[in-house]
Amino acid sequence: MLLDLTDRRVIVTGGARGIGLALVESFLAEGSRVAVLDLDVSSLDPLVASHHGDLVAIACDVRSEDSVSSAVAAAATGLGGIDVLVNNAGINVQSLLEETSDAAWTRCFDVNVGGVFRVSKAVIPYLKEQRSGRIINAASFAAVIPSVGSAAYAASKSAVVQLTRVLASELGPWGITVNAYAPGMVPTAMNGFAELPTAQQDELLDTLSVRRWEEPEDVANVVRFLASDQAGYVTGALIDVSGGKFATQFPARARG
Ligand SMILES: NC(=O)c1ccc[n+]([C@@H]2O[C@H](COP(=O)([O-])OP(=O)(O)OC[C@H]3O[C@@H](n4cnc5c(N)ncnc54)[C@H](O)[C@@H]3O)[C@@H](O)[C@H]2O)c1
């Protein structure tokens, strides 16, 4: 199946590093034109320079309505319109509930849920006008199966899933699809999985049916599909790209 994403105009929030950066590179490789919205985009200067107008990088804090509205306007100008929004920006808060500060809880929701709300709201008029588009939201397996110490993060990602479903219903009549995806465990700056002691890494990997760390490209493969014409009948869905986190309780038993 060939996914033709040539000249697709794509916004990726949080695209300066981690999974977001892999999404940016993967859309560029397909001939799409990409705008990155992130807190600090200076690290992208060499990539912007080597992509001759196909990549624009815009400083933006998804917690601020003003910052988002001017960044989305700049992205639309830079790309000549908007076809796809990937709401990837997110933060992790890990602490027992009784040790979670009010500020950490609020920040987690402000970025993870508020960011999806604000950037989607700013992009929707562009998509409605052309009666087509894709909104693709980073959820997490934590939205379905949370871990100890993930109250703020897991609750925020569950909220992203519900927001996705509501938005899918509201935008369906305009030919716009809205989906969420649930990565499993991609070692990034957010979680430091790859730096854990081997025994802890083994414990985490034993929860997976596909027993390896997830690559950012595993996520990008799903996101590119959701962005494509071929995904036109998929909406309001949470796509599991977790290597089997949802599949069974004790996948390690299959390995004897
Ligand atoms: N890494 C994983 O295993 C994993 C698993 C499930 C879900 N996810 C989700 O995938 C997304 C990307 O995760 P990652 O591991 O690449 O994280 P990361 O920390 O490496 O990257 C997150 C990016 O978001 C940006 N960002 C943070 N706050 C922002 C704000 N207020 N405004 C604009 N940009 C902001 C950061 O600057 C950074 O570039 C997140 O939404 C995360 O919750 C990741």
Q: What pLDDT, in 10s, does the model give residues 160-176?
A: 999 999 999 999 999 99
Averaged pLDDT, 10-36: 98
Averaged pLDDT, 85-104: 98
State the pLDDT confidence band at 23, using cuts at 50, 70 and 90: very high
Ligand 1 pocket: which of 21, 38, 60 to mutate (most atoms <8 Å of CB)? 38
User: Ligand 1 pocket by C-beta < 6 Å: which residues?
Assistant: 13-14, 16-20, 38-39, 60-63, 88-91, 111, 138, 140, 183, 185-186, 188-191
- Domain with 146, as residue range(s), is 9-242
Total number of domains in the chain:
1
> Is residue 117 assigned to a domain?
yes
> Is residue 254 assigned to a domain?
no
Q: Judge whether residue 1 has pLDDT over 70.
A: no
Q: Judge whether residue 97 has pLDDT over 90.
A: yes
> Is residue 182 assigned to a domain?
yes
Per DSSP bridges, beta strands 33-38 and 9-13 are parallel
Minimum-distance ligand 1 atom for the alpha carbon of 89: 24
Report CA(71)–ligand 1 centroid distance (Å): 18
> Is residue 2 assigned to a domain?
no
Q: How far lies 76's CA from each of 49, 58, 121, 209, in Å?
A: 19, 11, 14, 41
Q: Judge whether residue 207 has pLDDT over 80.
A: yes
For helices 114-130 and 65-79, the axis angle rounded to 10 degrees is 40
Q: Indicate which residue's Cα is closest to atom 43 of ligand 1.
A: 90
Q: Judge whether residue 29 has pLDDT over 70.
A: yes
> Is residue 68 assigned to a domain?
yes
Per-residue confidence (pLDDT) for residue 3, from 0 to 100: 92
Averaged pLDDT, 16-22: 98
Q: Judge whether residue 94 has pLDDT over 80.
A: yes
Per-residue confidence (pLDDT) for residue 2, from 0 to 100: 85
Amino acid residing at 12: V
Q: Indicate which residue's Cα is closest to atom 42 of ligand 1.
A: 90
Averaged pLDDT, 144-148: 95
DSSP structural state of residue 54: S
State the pLDDT confidence band at 255, using cuts at 50, 70 and 90: confident
State the pLDDT confidence band at 200, using cuts at 50, 70 and 90: very high
Half-sphere exposure of 27 (CA within 13 A, CB side): 29
CA 148 and chain centroid, separation: 23
Ligand 1 pocket: which of 91, 113, 160 to mutate (most atoms <8 Å of CB)? 91
Minimum-distance ligand 1 atom for the alpha carbon of 62: 32
Q: Indicate which residue's Cα is closest to atom 25 of ligand 1.
A: 14
Q: 113, 159 in Cβ contact below 8 A?
A: yes
> Is residue 65 assigned to a domain?
yes
Catalytic annotation present for 181: no
> Is residue 110 assigned to a domain?
yes
Report CA(50)–ligand 1 centroid distance (Å): 24
Report CA(116)–ligand 1 centroid distance (Å): 12
Report CA(137)–ligand 1 centroid distance (Å): 12
> Is residue 63 assigned to a domain?
yes
Please list the residues that pair with 10 across neighbouring strands: 34, 84
* 27 contact partners, CB below 8 Å, separation of at least 6: 5, 8, 10, 12, 34, 224, 227
Burial class for 26, CB neighbours closer than 10 Å (0-12, 13-18, 19+):
buried
Q: Judge whether residue 205 has pLDDT over 70.
A: yes
Nearest residue to 221 via CA among 141, 164, 136: 136
Minimum-distance ligand 1 atom for the alpha carbon of 15: 39
The three-state secondary structure class of 85 is strand
CATH number of the domain within which 71 lies: 3.40.50.720
Q: Per residue, what are the HEC states of 230-244? A: HHCCCCCCEEEECCC
Burial class for 20, CB neighbours closer than 10 Å (0-12, 13-18, 19+):
buried
Q: Indicate which residue's Cα is closest to atom 2 of ligand 1.
A: 186
Per-residue confidence (pLDDT) for residue 256, from 0 to 100: 75
Which helix H or strand E contains 211, and what residues bound it? none
